Structure 1
């Protein structure tokens, strides 16, 4: 059953990887403006790309910080496990 599940996950991941379509994230007006500025030698396109990468990374950074705070706040310390002193047979 585990092999079937792994095969299914790999198959779906392969389909998602193979079916990548190019997308345009900018509106037509912004794209035209940026392309014309780039052809005229203006360097605003580099700043625009940096801004897009900043906006892309900000939510991931926020989630990572919240996960770290949650981990530090709610992890248990000094838990008595009440384990027996017998040796375990792992066969």
Structure 2
């Protein structure tokens, strides 16, 4: 019963994290100054999206590894018949 409660509270939290996002400005100060000096703002947006993409990959990898370790250590014990 306790495990079902964890799953029931975890699902809404995951939905909030995946579907309700905020825009992030992930440029360093020097990149922003160089890109804002030009008239073409699509280049600045492309650089910003690339930085956010590169930032997200390590979090996804570490999260996947943590989930795998959790699953391995929380496997139900095999019954000996």
TM-score norm. by structure 2 comes to 0.50
- Higher relative contact order (CA closer than 8 Å, sequence separation 6+): 2
TM-score (structure 1 length as normaliser) = 0.45
